[in-house]
Structure formats: structure tokens, C-alpha cells
Amino acid sequence: METEFLGSYRDSATDELLVDMENVDKRDRPFTPIQKNSSSDNLVFRMKNEMRSIKYKPVDYQQLHALTEAKKLAAASTELKIRKAAQTSKISKEQMLVRQHRQVWWQEHQRLAEVRCKMESEIKSFLNEENIGDECLSELIQFEQELSEQWCLYVKNVINPVQQLRADLKYRQHDITQCSRSPTELNSVKVLEEVLGHYSEERSNLLSVLPMELETLACPYPDLKSSIFNEFYNFTEKYQKKLQDFDLQLEDIYRNFLLSEEDHWIYQAVLGQYPGDLCGRRTLCLDMLQRYFPHKSRHALVEHEKYCDQYHFAREQRRILISNWNKNRRDFIQKAVLTLAEACAAHETESALAKDRKQQQELCADLKAKVLQWRAHQEEVARLEMEISARRREKQKEKEKLWKKKELLQREEQKEKIRKYWAKKEQNWQEMEMRDLRRLEELKKTMAEQSVKDRERVNYRQQLLAKRLMEKKEEALQEAHGEEERARRLEALRKQVAIVAQFDPVRMMSDTMASKARMGIGTEEEFILQKPLFTLNTYNEQQIISDPRLRFELALREAGLHKTFYAKEMLPKISPQKPPRKDMESTVFKI
């Protein structure tokens, strides 16, 4: 009853809240009719006027308090479980990270041990090669033992107490370290700026220095040499500007470093311990860096990592720029050397050509005199040849006149022959035309006779076609009459055998045999079927067990060898007692 009362009260409060919301938003929302429950309104009225009803009982608040306390305890236990699960997951994550760190540390320890062994072997080999005496070697060994003893004492007396106090003083020294690191960072930045400035000046001086290969080369054309030098200066000036931009970029990035020089060295050493192909390398590195620098936040370490990546990228770009400059400088020097060599060769060829030109002028003066003499002889020869050719032309004109007369006579004879040929050909054409006209008249006459015969045949065929169509129409009418007569007889037969059922509403509304059988009314006991409904064409149990394949598989299964390679090899090789038909051959083991 209490739950019913609370539910009805909740429904009434919900209805009032909906009404208030609709009154507030009635301008913005479309009109929707609201149906109110009269029972909920009566309930609200009774609750407001403190009127009791027989339907509802008073609330047992003690029981409700007990329920709420139980819920609070359950929620507290659930919250405790969640905290424990979070704590265990955090501990497991920390253990997993430490395990991965331990693997990396062990690899780094092995690498350093190998390097140490290698260095010791190199030192020993060096000592053996230099033939240092046994006394010096023994002194070195004693000195090494003394150093190791002193180191053990130092670790015991100094380092171990410091490590014990470090955990207590770590958080207290955080503010002091920040204040003390700021001037060191500024000093390191200033030192770096001075070093980078000096290095950039040296690099710019190296870039602007003219190569000795170009200075030592001799060129007969001073303009060409000066143009090559200007091109080299322009070429180096572009690279100097780019190099200065990269240096400024490196300085800006280094100023943004959030770690001091010593911390940055530790940062690089930690990154060097973890190989690049390690899975989760960045997570492990950040975790280790947070352990090394507890006073630095994760965001600060990530920012420092970003600046380091930018610094390495800028340095790589600067290195590529310098390598490109060296390559282009070598190419430019090679091209300049080739150009100057070609200029020297061209100068030598020009001097040789000038010498040859002078010799040619002397030869030309000698040849000119000879040419004038030869021209006088040629003019005399030409005059004599002209006189001879004039006499020959006169003889040729007389011969042409005689040849034209002969040609006119020959043309008149040919015209007479052509005239006779065309007369004969005209006569032949007339004879052929008369013969063709006679043949045409004969063909027209035969075609007129044939057209009369064809017209008679067409009329005859049309009459036959009309007669055939009339016969088909009569046959179709007869078939239609026959179909109508057949339908009439069938309808008479249907009327003779029709069933006339009487009106029986009681029988129509009563139960049928099938419905009675479903409800079990008037049914007899179930008949238990003792034999199968259909005949089954299959194998019996004895035939199946007698199959050697099944027996072999059962034996292997009992021995636990049915999944081995031997079973897979032997099972397909066992043939059945009766070989199967060719159309029923299995292809399971062939796939």
C-alpha cells in the first residue's frame, strides 16, 4: 500500500510539472490536448487537505529509514570495491612499467658491460703492444685496487645516507631548486648564444672564403673571371642567409628549453637507453623522466620533448643545408674550372686564327694577280666561243624550217586517215541502233502479252482466296455454335448434380470433430506406434561397426592419437569393405 501511495503521489506530481512546463513553453510549442486523470486530482486534493482514505495506509518511516541505511551501506561497499580495484589496477600498471624498465635497464647494463670489457681489452692490448714493464703494470693494478676500495668507502659513507635522506628532502628542495636553477639556465643560455654566435661567424667566414682552386686559375678574359667570382659570392650569400635563419631558429628553440643543461643531459641519456623500435617507448620514457624529475609536470616534459624534436629537426635541416652547399660548391668549382679551361682554349684558337688570317691575306694578294691574268684569258676564250655559237645557231634555224615543212605534210595525211575512220565508225553505230530498236519492239510486244496473262492469274488467285476465307468463316461459326451447345449441356449437368444444403445454424455453431479431438473430448487412448512409418534404406549397427575405418578411428581415439599427423595420413588410405561407386566417390580429403 505504501508503494502504491508513493507511486500515485509521484504520478500526480509529474502531471503538475508537465502542466507547468506546457504553460511556460506554450508560445513556442504547438497546441496539444492534455488529458488529466480525475483520480490523480482527487489524490492531490486529499493530500493537501490531510484527508485520509480507506484505500491508503500511513507510511512506515522507520522501515524507509532502514531501507535507506541499507542502500547507503551497499553504496559505500561498492565505492570501496571500486577504489580497491582502481588501486590494484594502478599498482599493476606501475609493476608492468617497472618490469618493462627493468628489461631496458638490463639491456643497457649488458651493452655498457660489453663496452667496458671492450675498453679494458683495448687498454690491455695497448699496454702489451707498448711493452710497458711489469713494475708499471703492477703499480697500475695496485692503484686500481686502491681506487675501488676508496669508491666502496665513498658509497658506504656518503651515497647511501644521501639516498636515504633524498626521499625526505625531495619535496622540500623543490622551490629552492627552481630558484637556483633559473640563473644557471640563464648562464647556460648566454654561453650557448656566445658559442653559437662564434660558430655561425666561423661558418659564415668559411662560406664567404673564395676557394683556392678558382684563385690560382689563370684566365685571359678578366671579365669572365670577375663574373665567375660574382656568381660564387651570390651563390654563397643565399646559403649564408639560410644558415643564419637556421642558427636563429636553433637559438630560439634552445631558449624555450624547460630543463637546465644538466637535466637536459639526463633527459638525452634516458632517451638513449630506450631503442626506437621498442613498443610503448614514449610511455616508458615519460614515466622514467617523471621519476628523474618529480618537480616537473608531465605537460612540461611533453613540451620539452616537442622543443627537442624541433631542435633535432632544425639541426638535421642545417646539416642537410651544409651538405647541399658543399655539393653545390664542388659542382660550381668543377663548372668554373671547365669554363676557364674552355676560355683558355678559345683564346689559343683565336690567336692561332689571327696568325692564319695574316698568312691568308698574303696568299690572297698573290692569288689576286694570278686571277686578273686568268680573267683576261677567259674573256678572250668567251669571245671566240660566242662567235662559234652564233654560226651554229644559224645552221640550226635552217634545219628547223625544213623539219616544220615535213611535219605539216605528215599532219595532213593523219587528218585524212582519221576522217575515214570516223565515217566507218558512224556507219557501224547506225546499224547497231537499228538492230536494238527492232529488238526493243519485240520485247515490248512479249511483255504486253505477258501482262495480260499475269492479270488473269491474279484475278483467279483473288477469287480462290475469297472462297477460302468464306469457308474459314463458316467453320469458325460452326465451332462457336458447337462450343455454345457444349456449354449449355455442361450447365444442365451441373444443375442436375448440384448440392442443396438446408439451413442449420445449430450445426454451424457446434464443435467439429477436429476441434473436439484437439480438446480431448470423446477421444480414445493414444495408439503407440510400434513400427516405423516408412521403410528406411540405410546401414544397421553391425554393418557400421564392421567398417575398418570406424574401428581404426575408435582405436586411435581411445589411444588419444586421433589428432596426430599419423592419423591424418593413415585415415584417408584405409579403404572400405565394399568399394564405392565412381559417382559416389568422396572428395573431402582432396580439398
pLDDT in tens, 243-299: 888 888 778 777 767 677 777 777 777 777 777 677 777 777 777 777 777 787 778
Angle at 425 between CA 422 and CA 429, to 5 degrees: 135
Determine phi and psi for 579, rounding to 5 degrees.
Answer: -65, 140
* Grid coordinates of 362: 698574303
Place of cell 506546457: 22
Instruction: Encode pLDDT of 540-564 as tens digits.
Output: 888 888 888 999 999 999 998 888 8
* Residue among 298, 301, 288, 296 nearest 178 (CA): 296
Q: 577 and 548 in contact (C-beta within 8 Å)?
A: yes
The share of the chain scoring above pLDDT 70, in percent, equals 74
CA distance 289 to 34: 66
CA distance 13 to 44: 8
Stretch 88-113: mean pLDDT: 80
Instruction: Encode pLDDT of 313-366 as tens digits.
Output: 888 888 888 888 888 888 877 887 888 788 888 888 888 888 888 888 888 888
CA distance 39 to 49: 15
CA distance 43 to 9: 7
Q: Any idea what DSSP says for residue 571?
A: G
Could you tell me which residue, 272 or 54, shows the higher pLDDT?
272
* Grid coordinates of 591: 580439398
CA distance 392 to 386: 10
